Structures are given as C-alpha cells and as structure tokens.
Chains A and B, each alone.
Chain A
Amino acid sequence: MTTLTDTNVYPRRRFRLPLLIWLSVAWLALMVLVAVTGDLWLPYDYQSIDLRARLEPPVWLADGSWSHLLGTDHLGRDVLSRLVISVQVSLLVALIGTLIGALFGTLVGLFAAHFRGWVDDLVMIAIDYQASIPFMILALAVVAFFSNSLMLFILLMGIFGWERYARITRGLALSSIQHGYAVAVRTLGASPWRIYGRHILPNIANALIVNMTLNFPQTIMLETSLSFLGLGIQPPMTSLGNMVGFGRDYLLTAWWLATLPALVIFLTTLAFALLGDWVRDKLDPTSR
C-alpha cells in the first residue's frame, strides 16, 4: 500500500530480501507438503523395528545404503519415515495449539472489553499472572501434577498463547467500543453480535494475525523443547523434539539421529520467523 514508512524507525524492513522470503516460503511449503502427503509415499512404517539394521548411516555416508535414505536409529527404524511423521505431529500440534489459543484468547479479550468491571479485572489478573511466569515452567508443573496425556499436552499448547491474544483483543476492542465506528453502529441499533462480528473483529484481525505469526513458531519451539525433555509427545508417537532427545545419546556414534530433526526444527522456526517478520511489516498498522 503506502511506502512512506521506509524512512523511519522500523528498520527491520531492510531484511526483506525477497530471496530469503522466497526460500522461507519454499521450505515451509515443502514441510506442509511432506506432512500432508507423507502417508502416501513413506518407505517404512515409522514404528517398525529392524534390529538387524540398527544405526545405519544415511545414504551419502560411507556405509549408507539406498534402502534407508536417512539411515536408521538404535532400533533399526527408518529415520526418514520417522522424520516425516514427526513433522506431521509437530506441525499439527502447533497448529491446533495456536488455534485454541487464538480462539480462547480472543473470546476472553472480547468478554473483558464488553463487560468491563470485575470481569475485566479478573481477566487482567489472569493475564498478568500467566505473563509473569515462564510458560515452560507452568507446563512442566501441570505435567508433573496431572501426568502426561496427548489431550492435556495439546491443551497446554493452546493455553500457552491465549494471554497475548486476550491482551491485544481487549485493548483494541476497548478503544473501538468507546469511540468511533463501534459507537456509531451501536446508535444505529446493531446488536453486540453484529458490532463484534462484523465491525470490531475484522478491524483487529490484522493484529491477531500478526500475533499468530509470532505465536506459531513459538508453539513449535515449546512443543519440541518439552518433547526433547521427554515430557511432551510420548513414545510410541514421535515428534521432532522427541527424536532429538533420543538421538542425543548417540551423538558420538550416530550423529545424524539428532542432527537431522534438529536441522528441520531450526529451518522451520527460522523460516517462520523471517516470514512472520515480513508479514508483520506488511500488516501491522502501527508500523505505518
């Protein structure tokens, strides 16, 4: 739209080398493609154990063979197949988590803005409370107290980000409810549903999308970190962090076990960060 802003305080812009963005998009597209179509072309079942072929190196190393392109792990399971399933699981968990967080946080923010008074106070206390403690610690405590299950874990990923959505939604909704178009529409006789659904939400959607681009890679990082610690996704399921965690014990003998999933994590979060930065500059109204 406008290009007036180049002169100013938002100098991150210079990094928008289109090449980097293109590479990021390409990598993410590849990941999504792999995750979606993986089941169609996987050479092995990711759980099938072959004890005769343990710790085989990838194909490009001295002893590598074409039967296992990326080698095998300590139980002789095909690393490529496990990697693909891990990408599936990690992306899916992060996606569901982000959606839960966005939905819940936005709703809570709207409630706080609409009812104000003690509802608002309560929400603000909850927001401050969560923001003041590193979420990883909170998640570890919950896992300790309630023991781990997939449902709980996904829910945790959702709770991770809600407070930021709630804060953004509340702030923006409050300012638009108190003056401007929301008041105008109210004097026309519109119901709260219409005011929030047709006017306020579309107007704050940009800020929420910007937050999503921040929240999604952070959820991936949280999920993989917890899984790496052995407290996230549990075997026999697998996730990227999980693979790194198990591969860590074989760094000296079979470095690819930890390195390949670690590389995938790094490239994915990096691509998201670069892309997110770029999207933020395009969408964020405050940087105009």
Chain B
Amino acid sequence: MNMLYILKKFSRALLTVLLIVTTVFVVLRLSGDPAIYVLGLDADPRALDAFRQQWGLNLPIWQQYLQFLGNCLQGDFGYSYFEERDAITAVLERLPKTLQLMGITGLCTLLIGIPAGIYAALHRNSWIDRLTMLVSVAGFSLPNFVLGIFLILLFSVTWQLLPTSGSGSWQHLVMPVLTMTVAEAAVFARFTRSAMLEVLHQPYMRTARAKGLRWHQAVCRHALPNAAIPLITVVGFFVGTLVAGGVVTETLFAWPGLGRLLVSSVANRDLAVVQIIVMLIACSMVLTNLVIDLLYGWLDPRVGSLRTGD
C-alpha cells in the first residue's frame, strides 16, 4: 500500500464529509425560514428581524455558509427549542446508550454469524447447512420491528420473563440485542459461508493438502485468513444496517439512545438535533468506510498497489 492510495482515500473521505455538511446546510435553508419556524407565522415582524439579526440570517448566503462551517468546526450546532438546551448536549447524553447496544450486538453478531457461516461452508449440504441458510434468509427478510413484536409477545406477554421496554438492567438488553443480532448474524453467516466456499475451491487449498497438511490445518492456515479479506467489505454494510436497525429497535423497546432521539426529533421537527445526529451518523459511516478501505488495501496487496506509473 503506498502513499498515493492512502492520500486518495483520505481526500475522498474529507470531500464526502464536506459534501454532507453542505447538503445539511442547503436542506436546512431550503426547508424554510428558521425565524418563522421558531417564532411562528404570526410573530411580530420586529421579533423576526431581531431573530434574523441574532443568528446571522440576513447575511449573504455564502457568509451564512462559512459561518455554518465555522460553527460546526467549533462544535456549535445550535439550540434545541424542544429540549430547551444545546442540541449537542442532548445528543451526547444519549450516545453511550446507543454505543452500548451496538457494541453488544456487534459482538454477538460476530460470535454467532462467523462460526455459523464457517460451519455451514465446511459441511456443505448437511442439514445444518440448509437450516443455517434458511434461517439466514428468514432473518434477513424480517424487519426489525416485526421480530421485536414477536419477541415481546413471547418473552413479555406469554412467559413474562423480560420487561417490554426501557433500560437499566441486563434484562432490558436481551430483546433489543436479540432483535438486531438475528438480522445481522443472518447476513454475516451468509457472507462468511460464500467467502469460505470461494476460498475452499482455490488451487492453493489443494496444494496445501497435497503438501501434507491435514484438513483442519489447511483450513486454519490458508482458508480462514483468505476468507477474512472479503468479509471486511461487509463491515461497512453491517454498520449501516446496525445504525438503521438501531433506530427502529430503540424506538420499539423505548431504549433511550440516539435512534429514539432521532425519531422523536423528526416527529417534533427539532431540526437542530436531527442535523447533528444525521451528520454524526454520516461521518461515522465515512470513517468506517475509510478504515475498511485502508484495511483492505493493507491486507490485499492487489488493491493497495495503486501505482503512479504503469
């Protein structure tokens, strides 16, 4: 992997972040006059003017844009009139809960999805393989909230084992994590399986066997590391569905995280909060993709060797 490749990926990521911030700015301005939105249609014109003066809304649009960029850099994202405090404070307060949920889900996904995929690939055509794939299709085509509803019916209504909503104890975590893990693990198992199958058919596997390695040695030394490379590309998709699934799951189980805040802010049209969360998610996606690209370039020399002259 050379500098050009890294530089190219970095500049691409920076450009995307700038594009995202710009889009948010444009959309904010397109969506209406913030003064009227905050103070109401029947507000005193003088009050409106004063508001515009205060927030720089009477400046030329490019100055407003620069100001917006500057504010973003300083971490000043505006005031949430609904929460009645700085929007960023409200967002940061919810962040740990979401990270907790996503972290545990991610861990469970890896622990279930990858072994299941490997096992299915190594025992192709067995009934376990078929079952894994059928569950994977079902899990993938099951919207989060539908699965969540079924789980609530089972664990809370019928067996009365777990609380239906809220947070605080490990019991609260079980159903949200389970809901999200099923869909994610389904995708992961499937990808792992096809990546493994691809690798198992490669000539170097036959060579490894021919030179006297036992089957499990060949699998551990040659198949697994090579199958891991395509799996890295799935991680971006994985984080994306985790974020989107998190929004629905948090709302369903009244989990006090970012996703639920986003949904309620959208419903209340609390734009300051919405814009922060959207930018936060977008930037973490860009970061994820950057890390994936770099990791991929590092692991797979064919990708990383973007040479200057050819």
Contacts and interface: CB of A to CB of B under 8 A. Distances in A.
Interface in A240-283: 241, 244-245, 247-248, 251-252, 255, 258-259, 262, 265-266, 269-270, 272-274, 277
Given A140-B247, A144-B266, A270 B152 contact: no
Contacts of B149: 244, 247-248, 251, 258-259, 262
A15 B133 contact: yes
Interface string A1-40: 0000000110110110000000000000000000000000
A129 interface: yes
Nearest to B27: A145
A143 interface: yes
Nearest to B247: A136
Residue with the highest number of chain B CB atoms closer than 10 Å, among A8, A221, A230, A255: A221
Given A132-B282, A137-B244, A137-B247, A143 B143 contact: no
A134 to B, nearest CB: 4
Interface stretch (B48-56, B194-202, B209-217, B301-309): B194-202
B141 A270 contact: yes
B266 A270 contact: no
Contacts of B251: 228-229
B107 interface: no
Interface string B220-241: 0000000000000000100011
A138 B24 CA distance: 11
Nearest to A128: B16
Interface string A195-239: 000000000000000000000010001001100111100000000
Nearest to B12: A128
B130 A14 contact: yes
Contacts of B266: 140-141, 143-144, 231
Interface string B77-111: 00000000000000000000000000000000000
B146 A137 contact: no
B69 interface: no
Most chain B beta carbons < 10 A, residue from A134, A143, A244: A134
A39 to B, nearest CB: 26
Contacts of A141: 24, 27, 266, 274-275, 278
Contacts of B142: 266, 269-270
Size band of the interface chain B makes with A:
35 or more
A67 interface: no
B263 A228 contact: no
Contacts of A231: 263, 266-267
A143 to B, nearest CB: 6
A8 to B, nearest CB: 8
B73 interface: no
A11 B124 CA distance: 8
A65 interface: no
B289 interface: yes
Nearest to B266: A144
Interface string A103-118: 0000000000000000
Contacts of A132: 16, 236, 282, 285-286, 289
Contact of B240 (A134, A143, A251, A259): A134
B23 to A, nearest CB: 8
A231 B138 CA distance: 26
A146 interface: yes
A221 B143 contact: yes
Contact of B285 (A134, A225, A262, A265): A134
B269 interface: yes
A48 interface: no
B198 A248 contact: no
B53 to A, nearest CB: 24
Contact of A144 (B144, B150, B265): B265
A144 B141 contact: no
Interface in B162-196: 164, 193-194
A262 B150 CA distance: 8
Given A133-B285, A224-B143, A255-B157, A145 B30 contact: yes
Given A11-B124, A134-B285, A255-B153, A244 B145 contact: yes
Contacts of A138: 278
A2 B91 CA distance: 56
Contacts of B124: 11
22 contacts: A9-B194, A9-B198, A15-B134, A134-B244, A136-B247, A137-B247, A137-B278, A140-B266, A141-B274, A144-B274, A146-B31, A224-B146, A225-B143, A230-B263, A241-B143, A251-B156, A262-B146, A265-B143, A266-B141, A266-B142, A270-B142, A273-B140
Interface of A: 8-9, 11-12, 14-15, 125, 128-129, 132-138, 140-147, 217, 221, 224-225, 228-231, 241, 244-245, 247-248, 251-252, 255, 258-259, 262, 265-266, 269-270, 272-274, 277
Given A134-B243, A251-B153, 12 more contacts: A133-B281, A133-B282, A134-B281, A134-B285, A146-B30, A225-B144, A228-B145, A229-B251, A230-B263, A262-B146, A266-B143, A277-B137
Closest 6 CB pairs of A and B: A273-B141, A136-B244, A145-B31, A134-B244, A144-B266, A269-B141
